[in-house]
Amino acid sequence: MAIRLGDEAPNFTAETTEGPIDFHEWKSGAWAVFFSHPADFTPVCTTELGRTAALQSEFVRRNVKTIAVSVDPLESHKNWAGDIGDVGGTDLNFPIIADESRVVSNLYDMLHPGEGDTSTVRSVFIIDPANKVRLTLTYPKSVGRNFDEILRVIDALQLTDAAPVSTPVDWVPGGRVIVSPALSTADATERFGDVEEVKPYLRWTPQPTV
C-alpha cells in the first residue's frame, strides 16, 4: 500500500550493520531520512552512501538520523562499507538494513515495478519526530539523489513547523519566506516586523529566527 504524506511511518524490526533495531525506538525523538538503494557494490549507490556519511555532521545538527535499506544480506553490506569509505572519503557512520526477506521493502512499497527483479527503487522518506511521513521521493535506478536538496527540505520543514510561514520556489536557508495566509498583515507585521505585501495572498518577510 502506498505511503502518503502525513501517514505514520510503518514500524519494523530489522538487522542492520549496527545491530538489530526497532525503527521507531531507534529514531525516538529525532527526524529520520530513510532511503533505499537497489544493490550493494553498484556505482551510483556507492556515491550516495558515501555522500550521506560525509554529511553526518549536518544531519546531526538538524537532529536527523539516516538509515538505508536494500535486499542484500548483512555480510554484503559490511563488505561494501570499505568501498563507501574509500569513495566518499568518510567511513560508513549510519546503519544499513539487510532486508533479504523484502519485508521492509514491501512495507514501504520500495520494490521496483516492471523491472523483472526484486531490487529496490531509490526511495527517500523524511520522517518527523512524531513518526509522520513528511516527504517522499522516488528516483529511477539510473539517477543519483541530491542530498543537498534533502537537507534543504529538512530545513524548510523544520522552519515551517516552527513559524507561520511557507518557503517559496527555489528557497534556500536565509532566503525570504511567505507569510501564512492564516495570519493577517497586521499580526504578521507585529510578529515579524518587516512584511511586504505583493498580493493580498502573497506577503514576504525575511526568514525568522526560530
Q: Sign (positive/negative) of CA torsion 37, 76, 54, 23?
A: positive
Percent of the chain with pLDDT over 70: 95
Domains of the chain, earliest start first: 13-158 (3.40.30.10), 163-205 (3.30.1020.10)
Active site residue 68: no
Give the active site residue among 32, 45, 49, 163.
45
Q: Cα 103 vs. chain centroid, distance in angstroms?
A: 20
Condensed to tens digits (0 to 9), the pLDDT of residues 104-161 reads 988 998 876 655 555 666 899 999 999 999 999 988 878 899 999 999 999 999 999 9
pTM, entire model: 0.93
CB 11 within 8 A of CB 99: no
**Could you tell me if residue 34 is left (phi over 0), alpha (psi between -120 and 50 degrees) or otherwise beta?**
beta
Residue of 163, 184, 186 whose CA lies nearest to 176 = 163
Q: Residue 59 carries which DSSP code?
A: H
Condensed to tens digits (0 to 9), the pLDDT of residues 29-74 reads 999 999 998 889 999 999 999 999 999 999 999 999 999 998 899 9
